[in-house]
Structure 1
Amino acid sequence: MSERNGDARRASVAVRAATAGADVADESFRTDLEVEYKDGKTDVVTQVDRDAQTTVIEVIEEAFPADPIVGEEDDALKQVPETGPAWIVDPIDGTNNFVNESRAFATAVAAVRDGEPVGAATVCPALSDTYRVGPEGAFRNEEPLSVSDCGDPEAATVCPTFWWDFDDREQYAGATRAIVERFGDMRRFGCAQLELAMVAAGTLEGTMTNLRANSWDTVAGVQLVREAGGTVTDLEGNRWRHDSTGLVASNGEIHEELRAATREAQFTGE
């Protein structure tokens, strides 16, 4: 199998794996759940997260048994290999939403080669939305995605993403203040992969954080934004990759204004 054909197949498997994991999550949505806490009062995990990740990995390993897999839960790898093919899995992005019966959660799977995505899927079962990206472009429920064409910051809607812990609340406040002073409106959904998908779909003009984000929270959505015509950089304006500090994702039209807002949050905490 050629590398190109292999990557096209990986893009297809990403959709199957994300759908299978999302089905596991959906079966337990709005049922009695036993909630555990990781590093804080809002950093939660359930057995459903683990079961969904197991299901995703089973689908991947059936098709590509030799590929390494990076995942959020348990003993999966935590670093993306710099060379060769690999997979990045978030079984339930937005677990806090999931346990609180909010529909804003997703299963995200990305296939990468040499650290760069070649295919990905973000499945939001409670919203009946499947986002996918591969060699043929980016889609939501088989409709092509395109970022917003809004170029006026005062008409744009922006989302601060990821979680500033309690010892970083000055930066959280700084990010919020920078957004409301520069842009028309603000949203926050508590599910980074969904927020990135919404930028790709034109529902949001941008999303941002000054923090270094986990690969499982970002890579699939970043590729959606790029393939839909958007721009994703780090704080300095360099092309974003899975080990970058800061993430600024936009429709491209408001990107420099959004990057400036993100840097304001960074400097607030220094």
Structure 2
Amino acid sequence: MTDEIDRVALAERAATAGSEVAAEGFRQGLAVETKDGKTDVVTEADRNAQRRVIEEIREEAIEDAIVGEEEDELKEVPDSGDSWVIDPIDGTNNYVRDLPLWTTSVAAVRDGEPVAAANISPALDEAFVAGPEGTTLNGNSVSVSEKTDPETFAVAPTIWWDFDHRDEYADACEAIVERFGDMRRLGCAQLTLGMVAAGMLEGTLTNVDPNPWDTVAGVYMVRQAGGTVTDLEGNRWRHDSTGLVASNGGAHEELLAAARSIE
């Protein structure tokens, strides 16, 4: 596959197929397992949804690398060649609590840069898709918020702070409520980034090193919707960056200041 439009279509098909598998298990009392900690949870639906996404991708992109959260797929994005970044259920903690704030995420990447993305949230009946022509929500073009006054902003801390970093979590919340109009925390990084892209939130931030499956698709959506995404230094965000600051661009320096104040 060489055409980016084709990759947009495949990303959407694959994410939709995986989300359908995940939706079958939602609110069905699935057994919950833990991986690296008490809140790092996984279900059989995560694994089955990822397998389904990969099946769909492999029908057209046989040789491309696969980066996926579950099982033995790659855990880092290659800096050269074509790859796909998958999160079968971003927001698994919401999923197992019967909260509808979760999404199946697929991003197509070329030489380390995303070129297509889809985040499908069946429990919300929402489909965020991004490609060279912009970002859409349920087929309608969207763009970032036009607000420029930080006191009118809704900003979300994102990515999870482990128990030995709860002081940083507290710092992040304090930094947001001191600088902006209000705070949200959704427990689903990809959905949060999609909401920044669609103008529902003005920004999101973290100081941790985020995983590519939690971020790459949503970052591309924000950029294609006219937003700004950087690392903590204000440099253009990459899949291997430290921290993540995404905004509508209206007061990005204020978002950066908040993220940098986390210690």
TM-score range normalised by the length of the shorter chain? over 0.9
2:91 corresponds to 1:83: no
SS at match of 1:180: helix
SS at match of 1:193: helix
Name 2:250's counterpart in structure 1: 253
Name 1:17's counterpart in structure 2: 14
Name 2:140's counterpart in structure 1: 143
SS at match of 1:90: strand
Aligned pair partner of 1:50 in 42, 47, 51: 47
Relative to the length of structure 2, the TM-score reads 0.99
Relative to the length of structure 1, the TM-score reads 0.96
- Shift in Å at residue 214 of structure 1? 0.2
- Gapped runs of 5+ residues in structure 2? none
Amino acid aligned to 1:243? D
- Shift in Å at residue 136 of structure 1? 1.8
CA distance in 2, matches of 1:251, 1:10: 26
2:17 corresponds to 1:28: no
SS at match of 1:235: coil
* CA displacement, residues 119-143 of structure 1 (integer Å, 9 cap, x when unaligned): 0100011000000011221100011
Name 1:64's counterpart in structure 2: 61
2:154 corresponds to 1:157: yes
% of aligned pairs identical? 63
Amino acid aligned to 2:11? A
* CA displacement, residues 163-213 of structure 1 (integer Å, 9 cap, x when unaligned): 000100111111000000000000000000000000000000000000110
SS at match of 1:63: coil
CA distance in 2, matches of 1:83, 1:60: 19
Amino acid aligned to 2:82? P
Aligned pair partner of 1:219 in 195, 216, 220: 216
* CA displacement, residues 9-44 of structure 1 (integer Å, 9 cap, x when unaligned): 111100000000000111111111100001111110
Partners of 2:132 and 2:224 within 8 A in 1: no
SS at match of 2:50: helix
2:71 corresponds to 1:74: yes
2:86 corresponds to 1:98: no
CA distance in 2, matches of 1:47, 1:191: 19
More helix by share: 1
* CA displacement, residues 26-71 of structure 1 (integer Å, 9 cap, x when unaligned): 1111111100001111110000000000000000001111111000
Amino acid aligned to 1:152? D
Q: How does 1:177-192 map to 2 (within 5 A)?
A: 177-192=174-189
CA distance in 2, matches of 1:41, 1:78: 21
CA distance in 1, matches of 2:203, 2:132: 24
Q: CA RMSD in A?
A: 0.7
* CA displacement, residues 80-119 of structure 1 (integer Å, 9 cap, x when unaligned): 1110110000000000000000000000000000010110
CA distance in 1, matches of 2:95, 2:181: 29
Amino acid aligned to 2:126? D
Amino acid aligned to 2:172? A
- Shift in Å at residue 263 of structure 1? 0.4
